[in-house]
Amino acid sequence: MKIAMIKNFILFFILTIYSFGQSQNGLNSITKEELFQTVTYLSSEELEGRLAGTEGYNLAADFSSDKFFDLKLKPFNGMSYYQDFLIECNEIQNPYKFNLIKNDEIVNKYQLGKDFAFRGFTGSGDFTADVVYCGYGISQPKIGYDDYSNIDVNGKIVMVFKFNPSWKIEDNQWTPATPRFKSKVAFEHGAKGILFVSFPNDENPQKPIGSVMCGEGEQLEDFPQLHIDIPVADEFLNGSGYNLKGLQTKIDSSKQPFSVTLNSQAEIFVKANYRKEAPTKNVIGILEGKDPILKDEYIIIGAHLDHVGQQANEIYFPGANDNASGSAAVLEIAEAFVEGRINNKRSIIFILFAGEESGLKGSQYYADNPIVPLEKTVAMLNMDCIGVGDSIMIGSGQSCPNLWNLIKEIDKKYYNMSVSNTWKGGGADAQPFFDKGVPTAYFVTTNSYPHLHLTTDKPETLNLDLYEKMVKLVFLTAEKIANGEYEREDIIVN
């Protein structure tokens, strides 16, 4: 061996050991204790469920930008970590009422968060009115299906299934199953309010959840929307000769509408403060690459910081898994890169998105207004609900196989926690990036959703060992991509 070669070999050896040490320092700085601490703060009552457009979300954004500042990440516009935009926002006030009335007497006073939840985009109202069961709440007379034919809902409250049927009439598409669309249909038939109910015939019927997903359309500011529990629906049906299971079975087996006037009334009082354009923001920090050429290429590490807020100052949705877990991970990974003195050649953009819960608003806003050209973004790593469950799933694998295989290899070497299931396309906040050709990987735990959008989505439900491994896997993945061990691939759309 020539001297120069030996020198080179020794240098290579030292560099390898050194970068291994850096990687190890980075890894060691990621701890379940720190993750838990951040999740606990983000899901605390003080932040009131982090609804985009509210003070609770702004506190979460301040907390995150302070962290970026401490880590000396670069503000994306040289001054601020905030990418401002406007979002629809609705806040439900206290007091409220939802009671069952029979023969002019209150039979039951229902409890918020247990018997029912308001839909996030409920309108206001103060009335007592008859309740009419209206099946799926679909009115498509052109295809011969109309839950509103032969029944009078004028001045009444309709009770409808939250979702659309699993069957179709020939090849016809149903109108959207969004709360806003079903409310509009009910309103146009003269109804004053709507009670959504889950399918009683599902194996695990969905509980009333907190949700600000409303779909396209205008806000009906004087039209209350509630999601009621199945036993509550049955109390309204009591005396009609039907129960909810029987009604679903009857409609599904005949594929014919079957609406019923009930001899029950509901007393509803709700006041909501609706703003069409409330200010909110994504939080963005940049860690510059150390290679003079590769630093102009970027990796995005993202998660949504927002959740579904509080209702009537009485209940709030902590969103510990959804998605304080992913948000805390973004902060922890940023810290691992900085404190581990990782020699990242490519630049890394850390983003916390607002408005995922009302329809990917923040990630869409970024994808439409990127701070660097999206063609220069090599990959987008999304984390959403990564703290509960028992193994790791990496989405987008069928569309971005090279990226997926890289992650699978790292996982195999270090943790062996990932399953072989994956999917086509981006999903959630990865979707707007995927739609614009950026390779994505979506990290989520399996069996992640037992508390999804419930008041029980709390830090103590997290599987901290799994969570820590997940965050380390994302860090190791980002490190490899940052060091050029992955080249942007053409994503497979079909």
| Nearest-approach distance from CB 314 to Zn ion, in angstroms | 20
Nearer to Zn ion, 315 or 379 (CB): 315
- The site for Zn ion (CB under 5 A) is made up of 322
| Nearest-approach distance from CB 384 to Zn ion, in angstroms | 8
Nearer to Zn ion, 407 or 454 (CB): 454
What is the torsional sign of CA 31, 37, 39, 40?
A: positive
Q: Give the helix ranges, DSSP H, for 243-324.
A: 244-254
Nearer to Zn ion, 359 or 401 (CB): 359
Coil, strand or helix at 383: strand
| Nearest-approach distance from CB 13 to Zn ion, in angstroms | 48
| Nearest-approach distance from CB 108 to Zn ion, in angstroms | 30
Nearer to Zn ion, 26 or 355 (CB): 355
Tell which residue, 242, 269, 263, 265, has the closest CA to residue 135. 242
| Nearest-approach distance from CB 453 to Zn ion, in angstroms | 6
Bridge partner residues of 275 (DSSP): 89
Tell me which residue has tokens 């009333």: 208
| Nearest-approach distance from CB 398 to Zn ion, in angstroms | 23
Strand ranges in 136-232 using DSSP code E only, listed in sequence order: 139-140, 145-146, 157-161, 193-197, 225-228
With beta carbons less than 8 A apart as the criterion, state whether 164 and 114 touch: no
Provide the 10 A C-beta neighbour count for residue 311. 27
In order, the DSSP letters of 101-148 are: EETTEEEEEPPBTTTEEE-TT---EEEEEEEEE-TT--EEGGGTEETT
Nearer to Zn ion, 116 or 353 (CB): 353
| Nearest-approach distance from CB 99 to Zn ion, in angstroms | 30
Tell which residue, 430, 403, 399, 428, has the closest CA to residue 493. 399
Bridge partner residues of 383 (DSSP): 443
| Nearest-approach distance from CB 304 to Zn ion, in angstroms | 8
Nearer to Zn ion, 112 or 305 (CB): 305
Report the C-alpha gap between 81 and 152 in whole angstroms: 54
Report the C-alpha gap between 445 and 463 in whole angstroms: 10
Amino acid at 107: V
Coil, strand or helix at 462: coil
With beta carbons less than 8 A apart as the criterion, state whether 261 and 242 touch: no
| Nearest-approach distance from CB 213 to Zn ion, in angstroms | 9
Residue nearest to Zn ion (CB): 322
Nearer to Zn ion, 322 or 411 (CB): 322
Report the C-alpha gap between 355 and 362 in whole angstroms: 5
Nearer to Zn ion, 29 or 44 (CB): 44
| Nearest-approach distance from CB 196 to Zn ion, in angstroms | 17
| Nearest-approach distance from CB 386 to Zn ion, in angstroms | 13
Residue 34, exposed/middle/buried by CB under 10 A (0-12, 13-18, 19+)?
Answer: middle
Q: Which tokens is 300 given?
A: 């995005």
Nearer to Zn ion, 119 or 192 (CB): 119
CA 448 vs CA 48, 145, 387: distances in Å: 22, 37, 7
Nearer to Zn ion, 88 or 297 (CB): 88
Using alpha carbons only, give the angle 10, 12, 18 rounded to the nearest 5 degrees.
Answer: 100
Nearer to Zn ion, 48 or 322 (CB): 322
